[in-house]
Structure 1
């Protein structure tokens, strides 16, 4: 198999026989599906914007090699190496995200991007995978010994700080993901049930506040709650699902990609439904489900709290983003600018998610060295 025998003690040999191959293949397939759908939806968006026909395809391909390198390269690391690299990466990503508030590129009223040469990079995307590891380390360190450092409290302050910075961009969707990831980790670590109710109430209050503070949030909720309201992209997406049927119109034969401003990003799932059909969409959902289920099965056999909390955070991140994006496409949730992991166009998102996937694969490896400390 791939040239490695079971007695091969090289780094690659040990990696091949310990990595979760089902999860690895699922991630690679999702990346492949993403490139395919960028080829399908990208040219239509480029034509509508007056850009070169393969503008978005070429941009996405630039990030493909770094994404695959991160996916495989990081999955070789030990648990201790994952922790150390994530701490450094988190510090750099947080500083870069702060910089967007002062020198970020303004796109539709949001300053989430930094211009690097001819490319735009969204630093906050890189906060997500590194934040998962940092908070897992803090919580696990605090729980390891009685009287240890207040890991939960420090991680909570860190979470609030990040959410505050993201809200200033503003990026309410990213703030929601970060908060939910932290809550999932704390819940698995043993959150008191009374605090579960308190945090749920606080989350509802935060959404209520966002509704009144941010006009775009209010408009999206109002359109979702009022069936008679004009919701252009969602209506076109639902028409795409109907037109595609079970098997789709065929590659390149879709029409909705010419009508959806975000057909290559937030509504790429609708493009897939029209061209490849509902059955193909079910396959995509099954790949996300496979990743989550395999991760949960692996956690059942793990006794290192740090690893358990890391896996919890990554699975929550992948699962939540996928569920929200698909829910929006099906008009089950208010519209939100949240991409479909690995599939929607976006170089920063692709590389950052691949970093998270590489970390997850490293932590899921059988007989991987411990190192929650």
Structure 2
């Protein structure tokens, strides 16, 4: 037996689904996402002892860490299983997730659990489910499918259907209210619409509607006005949450205080969820923070590069939209921690504590991995060959 026979777990002649998956999935993207999940578990052990102080009924200092291991296993498993799907399978599961999420969001005013003035969760025994997390990847894949169908010119009103479902989804989010998720979904939806090849004038109109929506949200919702006022005039408002997070980040310095040595994190509200980045920065420093950002940048840039080379319009826009969804959510969370934008409740993908977030992000990444696998005919001829090996092939 040669040494090379130990290099890979599967032979290239193996036609089993798992072997085919191994040879076609992007292992760089898979490794980056898996690394983020591992870091999320590690950071939960750093944040859990301080986080339980907000709940006197919890006695185990690693309560959130043990639960995070379960969430990470579920999210990682969902990512691997979803990455095995065919493009058609991705579409079916995504549409099913979207339909289920919309139904549950319609029922939230009646069966939802209200937390901090917003009814966004339903209780499933010891766990809570946030349906809007699953609506995000479902809507992106569905919109990409509808836009692709509209481009075929076979009479399918794909654009109208996509916009109708989008309006329904964001309407349900506004009712909760969940303005952060609404802005995230809207931005990603517009990006998918743009990548589908719409005229620039349409994007200008959508941009105007988006700005009008921002003004309306500012006028209608008191908590939005309060957060904007705190951001613009920090000296004239209570900015305890973001101030403590900023202090924790500053205290970390270049290399951090050390594992478990964070002090400022004890005063950061929601440190294990929305402000986990500040915990990472205090204990592991600027270098680790940049590595964390680099992992997200790698996923987005490599993912978009692979997506743009896909031959099928549906697969191309769906994959690109999913990678952008991950990148935009990470950007918003980190920007809030760095006090670059007003605060909003949004988790750091794969890293923040939360079952719904971890499971939904696992599905999102799994869908994206499935769509970008190297299937026969999936990519433009020569798209994935090294530059010195590419040649012009007939279409």
Separation (CA, whole Å) in 1 of partners of 2:239 and 2:219:
20
Q: Deviations over 1:301-347 (max 9, x none)?
A: 21100011111211121111011111111111111111111111111
Equivalent position of 2:47 in the other structure: 41
Q: Deviations over 1:117-149 (max 9, x none)?
A: 1211111111111111111111111112x2521
Separation (CA, whole Å) in 2 of partners of 1:369 and 1:110:
46
Equivalent position of 2:209 in the other structure: 202
Gaps (5+ residues) in structure 1?
none
Match of 2:263 among 255, 276, 279: 255
Pairwise CA RMSD of aligned residues? 1.5
8 Å CA contact retained: 1:184, 1:313: yes
8 Å CA contact retained: 2:311, 2:377: no
Aligned with 1:246: secondary structure? Answer: coil
8 Å CA contact retained: 2:319, 2:368: yes
Separation (CA, whole Å) in 2 of partners of 1:361 and 1:316:
13
Gaps (5+ residues) in structure 2?
1-6, 379-395
Aligned with 1:155: secondary structure? Answer: helix
Per the normalisation by structure 2, the TM-score is 0.91
Indicate whether 1:303 and 2:303 are aligned: no
Shift of 1:369: 7.0
Number of residue equivalences: 370
Separation (CA, whole Å) in 1 of partners of 2:285 and 2:220:
39
Indicate whether 1:90 and 2:86 are aligned: no
Q: Please list every run of at least 4 consecutive aligned residues from structure 1 whose deviation after the TM superposition is greater than 3 angstroms.
A: none
Q: How does 1:327-338 map to 2 (within 5 A)?
A: 327-338=335-346
Structure with greater Cα Rg? 2
Equivalent position of 1:289 in the other structure: 297
Q: How does 1:90-239 map to 2 (within 5 A)?
A: 90-144=98-152, 146-229=153-236, 230-239=238-247
Aligned with 1:303: secondary structure? Answer: coil
Q: Which moved more, 1:192-201 or 1:213-222?
A: 192-201
Shift of 1:2: 4.3
Separation (CA, whole Å) in 1 of partners of 2:140 and 2:307:
15
Per the normalisation by structure 1, the TM-score is 0.96
Q: Which has the higher contact order (CA 8 A, sep 6+)?
A: 1
Distance 1:194 1:68, change over 3 A: same
8 Å CA contact retained: 1:71, 1:354: yes
Separation (CA, whole Å) in 1 of partners of 2:139 and 2:67:
27
